Amino acid sequence: MKGWSKYWVLLTGICLMTCQTDDSYKEKVTDPVYLDNTLSKLTDIIVYDIFSPPVASRIYAYASIAGYETLRHGHPDYPSLAGKVSELTEIPMAKSEDVNYNIAGVFAFAEMGKALIFSEPKMDEFLDDLKSRYTEAGVPRKVLEASIAYGLEAKAHIMEWAKKDNYNETRTFPKFDIREDPGRWQPTPPDYMEGIEPHWNVIRTLIIDSAQQFTPPVPTNYDMTEGSDFYKEVMEVYETGVNLDEERTGIAQFWDCNPYVSHHKGHVMFATKKITPGGHWMGISQLAARIDSADIMKTSKTFVYTSIALFDAFISCWDEKYRSNLIRPETVINRHIDENWTPLLQTPPFPEYTSGHSVISSAAAVALTSIYGDEFHFDDTVEMAYGLPMRSFNSFLEASSEAAISRLYGGIHYMPAIANGVAQGRKLGAFVVESLNEG
């Protein structure tokens, strides 16, 4: 009997250790690093594929929504976005008890992002690595397979909804109509590209009721008579550009966020790829979550609030851009003030009013402030990967204000586009937050 007793004690001990080992992965996969790394990879691919800022915002938003809506099934304190986000319905709960929602949410995010990019093999490589990391963390094969399968189901659910947002239809819409009206936007040097996404205002919004809900005041009337309001605005841009100091130059370059900057030397042309403005703010959302030591669900909420604010802000801004069709400073200054003047930054290929940086940065800052508070110091290291130094801020709104004024320093915008863009973005951001926080 004593022998059998010792045997059963030993067997019980082994069983207990095995059970603990089998379950230890559950805590490991709650680490937000998996989701954070997935967003970083998505940003890398967006930069590589050279998506325009509005289109990039769509990728971020749908991937973030897929991740959040999947993850929340394992975190019941977090409500669904269904009923708040336009036409979105809840992703059904998993049928298999083997599904781990923390794992499934990361794969839903990645797979949704993969469905919207060009370079799918790059995401496939990342997914293979992600599977290996989960396996090394001790995730049982049946759990990993069930979680991946459910992540794909979640992605399919979100994809079916995303396909109805008018994006595909706008690919066949007519190009922007270029006319020689004196104050109307014209393509700018060095590439004289056509206006990008002139029909972005018909993309289905996520929270705001329409692209026109936060329409800003009309821009200053075009009038190059010396002493007119518009003339003064033009001269402000010109004189700011002529008298740039090191600090303002650094600010402009830090917030440039132009996904495709072309360089011309004689007959040679090459391009520099960089992060989009929305990508910069998604990077700031990552920094905020890391600094706060946010868990995986709060991290997901951070990404989804920020990306939704960015998505609707781009629609609102682009609606005004292609309604007012205001001429860029570079064109006016070259025609009437100084034909040899060039802005510090390359002028992006779309109308001037309102400032995209001002609108989207303000909206994103309001969204992040709603989660992390008014006083949140952070060192913005997002642009270091693109050869720019770190900048420090005491709040998200402080950062967004600097992003806005950077466009004057860069020679890209007149002041009304900046000031009215900030107001537009903050109002929109507050509405997005209020709507998402309901219920």
Tens digit of pLDDT for each residue in 155-193?
999 999 999 999 999 999 999 989 889 999 999 999 899
pLDDT recorded at residue 273: 84
Query: CA–CA separation, 132 vs 199, rounded Å?
Result: 42
Is 231's pLDDT higher than 70?
yes
CATH numeric code, 183-437:
1.10.606.20
pLDDT digits (tens, 9 = 90+) for 289-298: 999 999 999 9
pLDDT digits (tens, 9 = 90+) for 23-54: 899 999 999 999 999 999 999 999 999 999 99
pLDDT recorded at residue 180: 87
pLDDT recorded at residue 50: 96
pLDDT recorded at residue 268: 63
Torsion of Cα atoms, 355 then 429 then 33 then 383, to 10°: 20
Least confident of 11-20, 38-47, 215-224, 300-309: 11-20
- Look up residue 183 and give its DSSP letter: T
Closest CA to 46 of 260, 252, 199: 260
User: How many other β-carbons are positioned within 10 Å of the β-carbon of residue 28?
Assistant: 15
Is 430's pLDDT higher than 80?
yes
Q: Say which amino acid occupies 366.
A: V
The beta-strand segments (E) located in 40-86 are none
Task: Tell me, yes or no, if the pTM score tops 0.75.
Answer: yes
pLDDT digits (tens, 9 = 90+) for 195-228: 999 999 999 999 999 999 999 999 999 999 999 9
Query: CA–CA separation, 338 vs 331, rounded Å?
Result: 10
pLDDT digits (tens, 9 = 90+) for 347-369: 999 999 999 999 999 999 999 99
Closest CA to 42 of 135, 132, 111: 111
Could you report how far apart the first and last alpha carbons of the chain are, in Å?
Answer: 62
Query: CA–CA separation, 221 vs 218, rounded Å?
Result: 8
Positive or negative: CA dihedral 106, 112, 115, 117: negative
* Residues in contact with 299: Cβ distance below 8 Å, sequence separation at least 6, in sequence order: 32, 35, 36, 289
Query: CA–CA separation, 420 vs 334, rounded Å?
Result: 25
Q: What are phi and psi of 343, to 5 degrees?
A: -70, 160
Is 14's pLDDT higher than 50?
no
Residue ranges covered by each domain of the chain: 27-167, 183-437
Burial class (CB in 10 A: 0-12, 13-18, 19+), 222: middle
Question: Are the C-beta atoms of 325 and 416 separated by less than 8 Å?
Answer: no
